[in-house]
A and B are shown apart, each in its own frame.
Chain A
Amino acid sequence: MIHRAQSGHTGSSLSCIDLLTCLYFAELRHAPFQPDWSGRDRFVLSKGHAAPALYAALHRAGYLTERDLGRLRGLSSILQGHPDSRRCPGVEASTGSLGQGLSIAHGMALALRAHPERPRVYVLLGDGELQEGQIWEAAMSAAHYRSANLCALVDLNGLQIDGAVARIKGVQPVAEKFRAFGWHALEVDGHAIEAILEALAAARACEDRPSVIVAHTVKGKGVSFCEGQVKWHGKAPNDAELARALAELEGGAR
């Protein structure tokens, strides 16, 4: 997808794909062939630049076709550079400007709290994104309203465009910050599928507070030459890099 577009965020997509896999294929109650079912669980990709990861999940889930994937970032494509809820089925909110998704997800959670199907709302945040003040406004709101149907996941890959998050403007301790704001906070290895699923179940079981799962991840996960490399934040692979990356990813797949 990114290779064909020759544009897109490779590293940021790879760090969260395991989280998205757990959400879309184990946790979310959704109906790909009835995407406007009002009782569905919602997912908001607040770190909108990881759109290719979301599109890959939506494709596997049945919302998008192979042909759609080939047109990423193209003129008149439903797969915009950053998710566009108006154009793309399965995309719940338009994101891309960082810091806004938690408020949107919380608004959905408030609106759905009396729904008979008891839908839950999930939102994926980046760790660099936590530098945005609006995240903490929303964190305060969700705790104040005791929005237990809201679950945030933080893709803690430690890197942002200009370098290490810890060096640019540190955000740790993330879990403790959320706890201090009144959230139920869990920490997991963001590439350990069983652990992620357990954390999602624990979040679902918490009935009096919003939950956050702080997922420790590796930017560019699964591709040796991308892992932990800032330069792969928003870079597309060339032909040789793609072949090597796919070989590594397919070889590593269990």
Chain B
Amino acid sequence: MTRLLSTREEYGHALVRLGERSRDIVVLDADLSTSTCTETFAKRFPDRFFNMGISEQDLIGTAAGMALAGKIAFASSFAIFLSGRCWEQVRQSVALPGCNVKLVGTHGGVTVGKDGASHQALEDIAVMRAIPALAVIVPCDAVETRKAVEAAAWYDGPVYIRLTREKLPVIYPDEKPFRIGVGGVVRQGSDLTLCGIGLMLHECLSAATALAQEGISARVIDLATVKPIDEDLVSRCAAETGAMVTAEEHSVIGGLGDAVGEVLLRRRPVPLERIGVRDSFGRSGDPQDLLRYFDLTAEAIVAAAKRALARKQP
């Protein structure tokens, strides 16, 4: 039986553990601490938690100032606001000076659900990936979230971590190692490679199982660090399997699919199919209905895998 755990609750617990280890850890939020789960830290360390109110630009600048004064500052809001409302503050105040600000955006993707398009970040990976020196991480379960948050804290420089609202199945054991910039093979296979992040990694695993029943051996890799992407892993999988599919709960423009495509173009051109939201806004609905509506499913990945295989060089 697969356990479902909330990645944002795990984020809150990880912050508390970090706070216990270092007095330099501070946490800021913009009036969403109950949703982003930074509230867990706020209750434990009220003197190191700063609610900046509904003002994301000030949130980022304040976090930058704290980092410049020696703190490790975690700043949270919903992914859409954290990446969109204050993008230029992230660029100018955080990334350009290389501040130790760790941006954690929760509620990424369409599975925000009923709140609809205004609250569904489908462009955040693209716009954050465009900022130089900013690491972008999309964990796929609670264990990877905990490890990513810890790795981000001790990483020298700015990091953006994208989490989801929905609980996700736990696929990793507690001892799973995590390093920023290093991907991993989750399932072995030889005919093609499915690359997933976040919730869509689980759909990749389901798709691989379905493909196996048809005699197709699909490798599945976790590219949680979208930037800097694990170029060696991507090009090695391209060389060994000859075709790739990417899957992300994000626009096909500028996200994981393009990040993988950029590597393939330079190092190992092979057929690539991208699963993601096709240049449109989200909408209201139940998370599961929305995933089906936007073709963010194992079935869509299976179909894409067959298209990629059909284009594969014999």
Contacts and interface: CB of A to CB of B under 8 A. Distances in A.
Contact of A134 (B58, B66, B96): B58
A100 B68 contact: no
Main secondary structure of the interface of B (DSSP, over half): helix
A111 B71 contact: yes
Contacts of B251: none
Contact of B68 (A84, A92, A99, A138): A92
A157 interface: no
Contact of B89 (A44, A84, A96, A100): A100
Contacts of A15: none
A93 B68 contact: yes
B25 to A, nearest CB: 12
Contacts of A94: 92-93, 96-97
A137 B97 contact: no
A141 interface: yes
B111 interface: no
B177 interface: no
A4 B67 CA distance: 35
A42 interface: yes
A141 B68 contact: no
Given A86-B98, A133-B57, A140-B55, A97 B88 contact: yes
Nearest to A87: B97
Interface residues of B, number: 27
A109 interface: yes
A203 interface: no
Contact of B97 (A86, A102, A105, A140): A86
B57 A107 contact: no
B80 to A, nearest CB: 18
B163 to A, nearest CB: 24
Nearest to A46: B61
A107 B66 contact: yes
Given A100-B89, A133-B57, A107 B64 contact: yes
Nearest to B63: A107
B70 A93 contact: no
B96 to A, nearest CB: 5
Contact of B69 (A97, A101, A108, A137): A108
A242 B83 CA distance: 45
A204 B61 CA distance: 24
Contacts of A42: 69
Contact of B65 (A86, A93, A145): A93
A23 interface: no
Q: Give chain A's interface residue range (CB within 8 Å of chain B).
A: 20 to 34
Nearest to B58: A137
B53 interface: yes
Interface in B25-71: 26, 50, 52-53, 55, 57-58, 60-71
Nearest to B97: A94
B153 to A, nearest CB: 16
B96 A106 contact: no
A104 B93 contact: yes
Interface string A78-121: 00000011100000111111011111111111111000000000
Contacts of A85: 68, 97
A107 B62 contact: yes
Contacts of A97: 88, 92
Contact of B26 (A96, A102, A103, A111): A111
A224 interface: no
A44 B52 CA distance: 20
B68 A106 contact: no
Contacts of A38: 70
Nearest to A42: B69
Contacts of B93: 93-94, 100, 103-104
Nearest to B93: A100
A88 to B, nearest CB: 11
Given A107-B62, A107-B67, 8 more contacts: A94-B92, A103-B58, A103-B93, A104-B61, A104-B93, A138-B58, A138-B62, A141-B52
27 contacts: A44-B65, A85-B97, A93-B97, A99-B57, A100-B61, A100-B93, A103-B58, A104-B62, A104-B64, A104-B65, A106-B61, A106-B65, A107-B61, A107-B64, A107-B65, A107-B67, A107-B69, A108-B68, A110-B65, A134-B55, A134-B57, A137-B53, A138-B58, A140-B55, A141-B53, A141-B55, A141-B58
Nearest 10 A-B pairs (CB), nearest first?
A: A107-B65, A103-B61, A137-B58, A111-B69, A137-B55, A107-B62, A104-B65, A94-B97, A111-B66, A108-B65
